[in-house]
């Protein structure tokens, strides 16, 4: 498909949207690591230099797609998590962990982008693009924290936000382990010990979140994400 040069803001916005749509379609076929700007340009129908008129780099495209994927994921979570849950905190926490893990497992493109976010996607963008992405991520985390609070109001505001960060770390760290090389896949049928190490993404994320939620509820520290060890937290501040 060949395009004429965009002449106004609406056409430029359409062109950016088309580039993002093509990128998303490519990621349904290949991992982030194999997506090249050359192939993307060919599929979009623009010269690479023209694609770079709309996004400053391949990584900038992928970061904006990550922001869009996060938004779509959270929109899908509104229905199952917007209504306060019933039952004991352990039961509600386990249900929350299961919903989050299963919903992420259904979005491989999002998981792949999260796994590449810090080590790859944020390494070849300007400060402006990085700042816009961080603000978009913060908005997504706040939305997720609100949904978590509906299910676990016992968690303090800071602990609720800490859980969103832990979820991102677990999902991003687990995803590469369920994408083994062809050589490793070939070894699975012949070696049950190796095959047993091929983990299920949803199970690992769910179990990790169950432990994290139980720990946050038990410790009741309610400290900011990334804070160092703390002492006893006054009861009046534990669930502020």
Which CATH number applies to 57-219?
1.10.357.10
Local confidence band at 228 (pLDDT 50, 70, 90 cut-offs): low
Q: Each residue of 4-63: pLDDT tens digit?
A: 555 667 888 999 999 999 999 999 999 999 999 999 999 999 999 999 999 999 999 999
**8 A C-beta contact, residue 30 and residue 51:** no
Q: What's the fold here for domain 1-55? A: Arc Repressor Mutant, subunit A (1.10.10)
Local confidence band at 179 (pLDDT 50, 70, 90 cut-offs): confident
Mean pLDDT for the stretch of residues 144-164: 95
Q: pTM value?
A: 0.84
Length of the chain: 240
Ranges of each domain in the chain = 1-55, 57-219
Q: DSSP letters of 129-179?
A: HHHHHHHHHHHHHHHHHHHHHHH-TTS-HHHHHHHHHHHHHHHHHHGGGGS
Local confidence band at 196 (pLDDT 50, 70, 90 cut-offs): low
């Amino acid at each position: 498909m060949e395009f004429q040069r965009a002449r106004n803001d609406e056409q430029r916005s359409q062109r950016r949207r088309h580039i993002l749509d093509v990128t998303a379609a490519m990621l349904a076929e290949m991992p982030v690591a194999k997506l090249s700007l050359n192939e993307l340009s060919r599929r979009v129908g623009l010269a690479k230099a023209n694609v770079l008129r709309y996004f400053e780099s391949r990584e900038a495209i992928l970061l904006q797609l990550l922001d869009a994927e996060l938004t779509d994921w959270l929109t899908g979570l509104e229905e199952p998590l917007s209504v306060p849950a019933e039952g004991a905190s352990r039961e509600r926490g386990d249900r929350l962990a299961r919903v989050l893990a299963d919903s992420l497992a259904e979005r491989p493109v999002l998981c792949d982008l999260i796994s590449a976010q810090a080590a790859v996607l944020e390494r070849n963008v300007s400060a402006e693009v990085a700042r816009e992405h961080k603000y978009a991520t913060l908005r997504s985390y706040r939305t997720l924290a609100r949904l978590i609070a509906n299910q676990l109001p016992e968690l303090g505001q800071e602990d609720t936000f800490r859980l969103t960060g832990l979820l991102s770390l677990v999902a991003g760290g687990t995803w590469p382990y369920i994408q083994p090389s062809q050589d490793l896949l070939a070894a699975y049928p012949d070696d049950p010990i190796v095959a047993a190490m091929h983990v299920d993404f949803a199970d690992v994320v769910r179990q990790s979140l169950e432990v994290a939620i139980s720990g946050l509820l038990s410790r009741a520290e309610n400290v900011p994400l990334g804070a160092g060890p703390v002492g006893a937290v006054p009861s009046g501040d534990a669930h502020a």
